[in-house]
Amino acid sequence: MTPIANTPQPEPTPPVQGGSSPSLWLYLVLLLISAAFVFAAFQMQHDGEWPGLLLNLASDLIVTVIILVVIDRRLRAQELATLKRLPFMTTRKFVLLLSPTRRLGHRYACSLLVALEPLIAGKLELQGFAALEDKVRRGFVLLAGPGEGKTTWTQFAAVNLSRKYISYKSEGRIPIVFSLARWLPQRSLYEALHESFDSYAPCRRWLFNRLLKSGTVVVLLDGYDELWQREVPFTDQLKALRSQFPTVAWTIISRADKPLSSDLGDCESLKPPTDEELKVIHRRLKTSSYL
């Protein structure tokens, strides 16, 4: 199979964790607090100045909500769309509220998408990618030559699984993508996976363990061929993790021309692109070279 790219596909960089803009839930909470102040004022109407102070505070909160919603935010289309989707969103929020692992997985998947989507924006998703995505849910070993799309496939699979997961589809999974070339010798494989996950969605180890036992996690270990000259106990540690977290599906990605342990799992080769796909790829590469 002829390489389809001369340069390796870049790895994702965890986005900077930042705050989000106020949502409709904040406004609803402020209005409920205002209503509570009004109710308390009527209950305390014979207690001196307290009723007047509570009514003033309630009116100030209501004015603040009006300013934020009507003047500052101007009832943007996003807010109107949110109102239409409120029943469905409420169900999701309720599930996230009750399940800390679901909440953690949702936060991680969203953060991973922010990092991966720009990397695959100009890439072509080959026809053979979809069939291999189904195998990720069970775990396998993907083999291909250098420059034949291993990392690109890994990123497409992670994006598709993440999108389905945050959309509450049954085939969705939480894909933990880790490049074995970045595995430091002083870290165990478990520690490396937790640190990688934590860079996208900070969490304690006990919650990370619960997530791994939830049955919704797949791990994609890219660059197994980077380990064949390094003295690291990869096979033993992977075996221990498989025993500790039996519901996790492990996918190992490696070059086909490097030694491979028979204990890693069933092997599958990455199918070459069709003639039409090659034409599209070459056309895009030629176009990008002029930019």
pLDDT in tens, 38-96: 777 777 766 667 777 777 777 877 777 777 666 555 555 555 555 565 555 555 555 55
Q: Are residues 168 and 234 in the same domain?
A: yes
- In three-state secondary structure terms, 248 is coil
- Mean pLDDT score, 162-170: 91
Query: When comparing pLDDT for 241 and 78, which is higher?
Result: 241
Query: When comparing pLDDT for 226 and 173, which is higher?
Result: 173
138 vs 140: CA distance, rounded Å: 7
Query: When comparing pLDDT for 13 and 150, which is higher?
Result: 150
Q: Are residues 28 and 118 in the same domain?
A: no
pLDDT-based confidence at residue 242 (cuts at 50, 70, 90): very high
Question: pLDDT tens digit string along 204-232?
Answer: 999 999 999 999 999 999 988 888 777 77
Query: When comparing pLDDT for 83 and 281, which is higher?
Result: 281
Q: How many domains does the chain have?
A: 2
Q: Are residues 274 and 166 in the same domain?
A: yes
Domain containing residue 207: 101-289
The Cβ of residue 239 has, within 10 Å, a number of other Cβ atoms equal to 13
Q: Are residues 183 and 110 in the same domain?
A: yes
Is beta strand 249-255 parallel, antiparallel or unpaired with respect to 267-269? unpaired
Neighbouring C-alpha atoms within 13 Å toward the C-beta of 51: 9
Q: In the predicted model, is pLDDT for residue 275 greater than 80? A: no
196 vs 74: CA distance, rounded Å: 39
Q: Are residues 74 and 213 in the same domain?
A: no
Q: In the predicted model, is pLDDT for residue 290 greater than 50? A: no
DSSP annotation of 68: I
Sign of CA dihedral 130, 136, 142, 148: positive
91 inside domain = no
Q: Are residues 108 and 64 in the same domain?
A: no
Give the model's pLDDT for residue 212: 96
